[in-house]
Chains A and B, each alone.
Chain A
Amino acid sequence: MRRREFLQKSALVIVGTAVSTAPAARAATGGEQWPAPLKTLSPAQARTLLKMARQIYPHPGLDDACYMTTVLDLDSEAAVSPETAKLLSDGIAQLHSSGSGRFDDLSAEQQTAVLVKIQSGSFFQKVRSVEVVSLYNNHEVWKRFDYRGASYPFGGYIHHGFNDLNWLPDPPDAASPKG
């Protein structure tokens, strides 16, 4: 419990792997195909959080599936923490009442304007701090960012491009021995 609290306050939230590799129960929930069933959030709430997540760390090239992990991680936490469940449902209601209409229906610019208004609040910080870990820890996202992660399984980068940069001259041996 303490550990969880600490991690959140540090904005270093460690996420469980909400999207498991086990055959996922696919629940059709009004449009989105969630890779796992929702535990506490309604489909409408989950959809709003998904839109919010897209605006916090927007990458036009990434599909919704990459952002769904964040929503599922938040949902899992809400399932075990009534405090988080309340934070999320109050926060989602606030999203809908802070702009000129339902958050989902606003333009990207309007959505961002709503988020700017609430960015110092605990709801926004909760979503952002979960998302910054879960989104960028996603191996699909890594591929898009040309990040390969662990190299131990294939023998290290020593034979896989650790020094393949060729648009600058190589440093002399004295500075960088060939090895």
Chain B
Amino acid sequence: MAHLDLNDDSAVVIVGSGAGGGTLANSLCQHGLKVVLLEAGQRQSPATFHNDEWRAFNQLAWLDKRTTSGSWRVARDFPNLPAWTCKTVGGTTVHWAGASLRFADYEFKTKTYYSKISGANLLDWPLALKELEPYYSKAENRMGVTRTNDIAGLPGNNNFKVMYYGATRAGYKTVHTGRMAINPQPRDGRGGCMQLGFCFQGCKSGAKWSTLYTEIPRAEATGRLDLRTGAMALQVVHDRQGRASAVLYADAAGRHHLQKARIVCLAGNSIETPRLLLNSASSMFRHGLANSSGQVGRNYMRHTTGSVYAIFKKPVHMYRGTVMAGIILDEARLDSGRGFVGGFEMETISLGLPFMASFLNPGAWGRDYTRRLEQYPNMAGMWIVGEDMPQESNRVTLNTGVKDQFGLPVPNVHCDDHPNDVAMRNYAYKRGAAVYKAAGAVETIEVPPYPSTHNLGTCRMSEKPGDGVCNKWGQSHDIKNLFISDGSQFTTSGGENPTLTIVALALRQGDYIASQCAQRNL
């Protein structure tokens, strides 16, 4: 591993080592650039993961204080936990389930394809599927996505058997064990899936792709990566010309350091990335960096989600094996005839008993609730993930009244469901229940969204500088050497789990930065 000097202004400084930042770091190192990777969390490994829900959550989750507002139910159930993300090397790719789907072409052009939707800040991406396809292919190969690159699908578990039977009886046609960045057999230095059932807690067999044990060690092997753990970026600093010149960060002991930079790339996930830009306001950039459009922090999206659990007469033991063990793809289509625009997927999900008790109906108690929990062994479950509408008023702002351990204002996450989101969720709940009834469910339970696992859109890409924060390369419109490298770039959310797209964008951005450096444009 390299050690770069704080005054080395040839370094590319990346904030965050998750899907976006970890991938970008490796791409740039392979291109011969020197990278300082600042990661607020500590480094774990498959050997140190805990297959225990609360312990793992405490070990890996982002627990710094946040606040919430708006009418979304998360603000009521989890007022200080709007999002479920990680603070650790590898970021949320340590917790993620591995579902890896490409966007459809129309999802890059929602303003064109969807009729005008009041209250929705729809915009076409400055990027078409065609341009991203080669990078989707690269991403699928390096992540080892099943049903691509001649990799077989995973074997379905009990939860999937129930889904498959119900879905096909309910008339669905495209139902299988998904496209998962999980090795059915050992591949590319990673183990095969042992059906451990703790995908959300860090995969102890390494079967599931995470930047922690793929991109990051590969970047380290080039000798060009300086990964600093326990390093919380506090501010992006600029020079008199208004170019990003350094990143101020606090180390684990709270000491401040200023790392000079040739280029700065932000990949702290969609709450921390805009927060960092807003916290970097200066006399030259009074409303925060890269914010001449006023769009930094706006258009926060979390996908339209919810879960349906069903109780059967006989045991399912859904917790055994892959958490997202299968998918129904029929509802992911361009069809506004269902009372909403956008598509959604239904994917199996399971929670262990500890999380199930907290999430099945947050805050509920009493015998009616415990009677349902006692049916735990006989439950099957699915998660709904669909496109949500970008709204300017759904946004991350600084809550100046509340400070974090570094003395900085915490982020407030404001969210109201758009009527389209509500219509989609209600429709999806009904379809999910129909699937399980077709498989003989005695009861189905609609479960409200968990703290957001997908966080998107707060520094959106746009063709015109006035409409968004960055261009189609993730390069900020205002500051040429400042890049957005995570899910914050998403112009709209699509209906698919976002990580494959985040990784594809990071690979594409890596090539772009390298070529711009070679041409001395950066």
Most central of A137, A155, A156, A174 by chain B CB within 10 Å: A156
- Taking a contact as CB atoms closer than 8 A, the residue among A128, A148, A152, A157 that contacts B204 in the complex is A152
Q: Which of A23-31, A92-100, A158-166 has 4 or more CB atoms under 8 Å from chain B?
A: A158-166
Closest to A150 in B: B51
Q: Which of B176, B196, B320 contacts A161 (CB 8 A)?
A: B320
Chain B interface size range: 35 or more
Known: A9-B80, A157-B195, A175-B175. A136 touches B353 (CB 8 A): yes
Stretch at the interface among A33-41, A54-62, A65-73, A80-88: A54-62
A111 to chain B, nearest CB (A): 11
When distances are taken between beta carbons in the complex, the residues of chain A under 8 Å from B165 are: 168-169, 171
Least CB separation from A175: chain B residue:
B176
A170–B363 Cα gap in the complex (Å)? 37
B51, A151: Cβ atoms closer than 8 Å = yes
Residue B70 is within 8 A (CB to CB) of chain A in the complex: no
Given contacts A2-B405, A9-B80, A163-B156, contact A137 B354 (CB under 8 A): yes
CA–CA, A99 and B127, complex, Å: 65
Within 8 A of B (CB), among A120-179: 128, 132-133, 135-137, 141-142, 145-152, 155-158, 160-165, 167-171, 174-179
Q: How far is the CA of A115 from the CA of B405 in the complex (A)?
A: 37
Give the residue of A55, A133, A162 whose beta carbon is less than 8 angstroms from that of B157: A162
The minimal Cβ–Cβ distance linking B470 to chain A, given in whole angstroms, is 31
Which residues of chain A have C-beta atoms less than 8 A from B198's C-beta?
A: 150-152
Contact at B184–A162, with CB atoms within 8 Å? no
- A136-B357, A156-B205, A163-B155 are contacts. A6–B65 as well, Cβ < 8 Å? yes
Instruction: Tell me whether A44 is interfacial, beta carbon within 8 Å.
Output: no
When chains A and B are docked, how far (Å) is the Cα of A177 from the Cα of B184?
10
Check: B99 CB closer than 8 A to any chain A CB.
Answer: no
Chain B residues within 8 Å of A112, by CB: 366-367
Contacting residues of chain B (448-505) with chain A, CB-CB under 8 angstroms: none
| B157 neighbours in A (Cβ, 8 Å) | 157, 162-163
Contact B65 A162 (CB under 8 A): no
Interface residue total, chain A, C-beta cutoff 8 A:
56
Is there an interface contact between B362 and A165, defined as CB atoms closer than 8 Å?
no
Pick from B52, B58, B367: contact of A149, CB below 8 A. Answer: B52
If A6-B65, A6-B80 touch, whether A151 touches B196 (CB-CB below 8 Å) is yes
Main DSSP-derived SS at the A contact region: loop
B176 to chain A: which residues have CB within 8 Å? 174-176
- Bound together, the chains give a CA A145 to CA B376 distance in angstroms of 7
Evaluate contact between B353 and A147: CB separation under 8 angstroms.
yes
Please indicate the chain A residues that have their CB under 8 angstroms from the CB of B353 in the complex: 136, 141-142, 145, 147
CB distance from B203 to the nearest CB of A (A): 10
Contact check, B370 vs A179: say whether CB atoms are below 8 A apart: no
B4 lies within 8 A of chain A by Cβ: no
Interface segment among B27-35, B130-138, B215-223, B310-318: the answer is B310-318
* A10 at interface by CB-CB < 8 Å: yes
Please determine whether A12 and B320 come into contact, CB atoms closer than 8 angstroms.
no
Say whether A10 contacts B81, CB under 8 Å. yes
CB contact under 8 A between A168 and B439, given known A161-B317, A162-B320, A176-B326: yes
Known: A163-B156, A165-B162. A128 touches B51 (CB 8 A): no
Given contacts A157-B196, A176-B164, 9 further A-B contacts (CB under 8 A): A12-B358, A55-B366, A141-B353, A150-B51, A151-B195, A152-B194, A163-B157, A175-B176, A176-B177
Name 17 A/B residue pairs within 8 A (Cβ), A-sorted: A11-B78, A15-B54, A119-B365, A145-B374, A145-B376, A147-B319, A147-B377, A151-B196, A152-B194, A157-B321, A158-B321, A161-B158, A163-B156, A175-B177, A176-B164, A176-B177, A177-B184
